Structure 1
Amino acid sequence: MKNILLLVHDDHGQEARLQAALDITRAVEGHLTCIDVTPYPLIAGDGFGFAETVVVLDERESEAKNKSVISDRLSREDVSWSWIDAMDEIANAVLDAADLADLIILNRALDGFPMPDMRDIASRIVARASAPVLAVPETLERFELERALVAWDGRPSAAAALRAAVPLLAFAKEVEIFTAQGPDNHIAPEEAATYLSRHGIKANVRKTDIGKFHADFLISDEATMFRADYMVMGAYGRGRLRETFGGTTKNLLTESKFPLLMSH
């Protein structure tokens, strides 16, 4: 994991995204690519008229100021970085830049700020990107690497997320593989722990019965008790098309207190 792709956009989640990106880039001694997106205006009507032009000009001015601030800050940080300017819908712009990314850093939903719709953006990107997505809450001040919770359901998406997370899990002092037992666990959590052990990563397995609880509640509760710094999880519920937003993923991307490293 050396190539980190960061969404740069002047919104309430930007500082958390940037801090996570800097912490991870330093840890892996990688390169940070910033994609600064000026979104197309979402205005009803045919054609690209005066109102749309005004919105675009305002967005360009705002992002130009934002670029100046962020570039100045990055020039004083001890990381390798580069910059891409894009004008497109945010998810499309990030996907276009993500082919050679090892990790994409976004937000989960922004509390109290419906636009940009980070939950939708993250869900669309994780559905289509080959790289994993890290979605952080806007309250994040520092991305810690010491305690990782792996939410395990034994399905290919969980295995993909686990494989993608290995470079970060290697920094962890404690890793827990947490599973709500069910008849459809394709790969046992013990097999996941064995896989990690071959990478020199020790992981403990904890099982619970799902009962009447929703999976997102159980995962969040376990992450709190474990004092997780971040969570690793597959991105979709069972029986869903790959492009469809799974219920557990949707709920966690709405309100998780913990950064989510996701893959499909």
Structure 2
Amino acid sequence: MSAYKTILVHADASRHAPARIELAARLAMAHEAHLTGAAMNGLPRFLYEGTELQVALQLAGEQMAVLERQAHDALDAFDAQCARLGVAAYERRQLNDDPEGGLILQARYADLLVVSQPDPDETRFTTLGDLPAYVTLNCARPVLVVPYAAAGMAYPPRAALVAWDGSPPATRAITAALPMLRRAGHVTLAIFNPGQRWGLHGEEPGADMALYLARHGVQVDVHTRDGVEDEGNALLSLAADRGAGLLVMGAYGHSRFRKLVLGGVTATVLSSMTIPVLLAH
């Protein structure tokens, strides 16, 4: 990807929304991109197709008004924050949908989707509690996940860590992250247990991808390590050691009837991350 032209950010009532929106805004300003804030009322859009629900909605008019007001207020806060930060081009979209369905739909028209890591203390703000995993596995765009435990994240990052295993998801993640990686001070390409993936890395693991990144103007070095059993925690530890402000990785898993089955590395990173993580499936 050469540049971000449209960035989509989830706007909601969470206390972590300002940090999420601020990072999305700084990305938009740095890349001269259009920023869209999307807020949902929480009801899946397919429910609106049933006649039975129309009666229920009339009976529950007051509750519906509350949900609509919450979404409206979240977008008012989004507008105010964008104006305060000086975002040149932004818009708001209020949708009759749940957060998962609404974001997946709107992400089709964006280059990057920005969401927050779920906070266990705020499960009431999502119906699933695993919003980043669900949208990553079900939308066709890269997803930047902002940790709930961090605030005031700098962009561009001083350093970035890229997890490389030769797979299609990792390839998509790297391609999607190129605009950010070019702006990072330095990038480390991490390859764990390269011998276990015979035929994917060539004679010198990481050399081909490092060359690809260098040709895109990325300052990169290669870090390989064998004998790693817990790759998720190893990635997070290496990111801390390198002072990385961004982790880029492929996401593994599948979703069936909204039941998520995540790969172990993806699940570990999403549960324990303390820096922004860009995921692609």
SS in 1 for 2:189: strand
Corresponding residue for 1:217? 233
In structure 1, the residue matched to 2:48 is: none
Change (3 A) 1:36 1:200: same
Pairwise CA distance, 1:181: 1.5
Q: Secondary structure at the match of 2:85?
A: coil
Partner of 1:169: 181
Alignment RMSD (CA, Å): 2.3
1:90 counterpart letter in structure 2: P
Query: Match for 2:81: what amino acid?
Result: R
1:22 paired with 2:25, answer yes
Give the drift of 1:202: 2.0
Equivalent position of 1:96 in the other structure? 105
1:71 maps to 2:79: yes
Structure 1 93/172 Cα, relative in aligned 2: closer, same or farther at 3 Å?
Answer: same
Counterpart CA distance in 1 for 2:35 and 2:138 is 21
Counterpart CA distance in 1 for 2:168 and 2:74 is 39
Looking at structure 2, the residues matched to 259 and 85 of structure 1 have their Cα atoms a distance apart, in angstroms, of 26
Q: Residue 160 of structure 1 aligns with which residue? A: 172
Unaligned runs of 5+ in 2: 45-51
CA distance in 2, matches of 1:124, 1:73: 27
1:129 alignment partner in structure 2: 139
- SS in structure 2 opposite 1:130? coil
Cross-structure match for 1:190: 207
The whole-number CA distance in structure 1 between the counterparts of 2:26 and 2:216 is: 22
Q: Distance in 2 between matches of 1:111 and 1:231?
A: 22
Q: 2:243 aligns with which of 227, 239, 259?
A: 227
Taking every aligned residue pair, what percent have the same amino acid on both sides? 25
The match for 2:47 is: none
Distance in 1 (CA, whole Å) between partners of 2:186 and 2:145 is 21
Question: Is the helix fraction higher in 1 or 2?
Answer: 2
Aligned-partner residue type, residue 167 of structure 1: P
Residue 102 of structure 1 deviates from its aligned partner by 0.6
**Distance change (3 Å), C-alpha of 1:148 and 1:54:** same
Alignment match of 2:151 (pick from 115, 123, 140)? 140
Aligned counterparts, 1:114-125, within 5 A: 114-117=123-126, 120-125=130-135
Residue 52 to residue 244, structure 1, CA distance change in 2 (3 Å): farther
CA 1:184–1:81 in structure 2 vs 1: closer, same or farther (change >3 Å)?
same
Specify the alignment match of 1:2 in structure 2: 5
Give, in whole Å, the separation in 2 of the partners of 1:60 and 1:11: 15
| 1:231–1:258 Cα contact (<8 Å) kept | yes
Residue 39 of structure 1 is matched in structure 2 by 42
Amino acid aligned to 1:216: G
Tell me the equivalent position of 1:252. 269
Q: Which runs of 5+ in 1 are unaligned?
A: none
Q: Is the 8 A contact 1:7 1:94 kept in 2?
A: yes
Q: Which amino acid aligns with 1:205?
A: V
> What SS is found at the alignment partner of 2:248?
strand
Q: Do the aligned partners of residues 50 and 82 (structure 1) sit closer, same or farther apart at CA in structure 2, a change above 3 Å counting? A: closer
TM-score, normalisation: structure 1: 0.89
What is the aligned partner in structure 2 of residue 84 from structure 1?
93
Deviation per CA, 1:90-123, whole angstroms, max 9, x where unpaired? 1100111111211100011214222334752111
Cα separation, 2, equivalents of 1:51 and 1:189: 61
Equivalent-residue separation in structure 1 for 2:68 and 2:129 (angstroms): 24
Say which is worse superposed, 166-175 or 138-147, in terms of deviation.
Answer: 138-147
Contact 2:39 2:99 in 1 (8 A): no
CA distance in 1, matches of 2:255, 2:107: 22
State the Cα distance separating 1:124 from its structure 2 match.
1.5
The count of aligned residue pairs is: 257
How far the C-alpha of 1:151 sits from its partner, in A, is: 1.3
Change (3 A) 1:51 1:194: farther
* 1:220 and 1:256 in contact (8 A); partners too: yes
Quote how far apart the aligned CAs of 1:56 are: 2.5
For residues 227 and 62 of structure 2, the distance between their equivalents in structure 1, rounded to whole angstroms, comes to 52
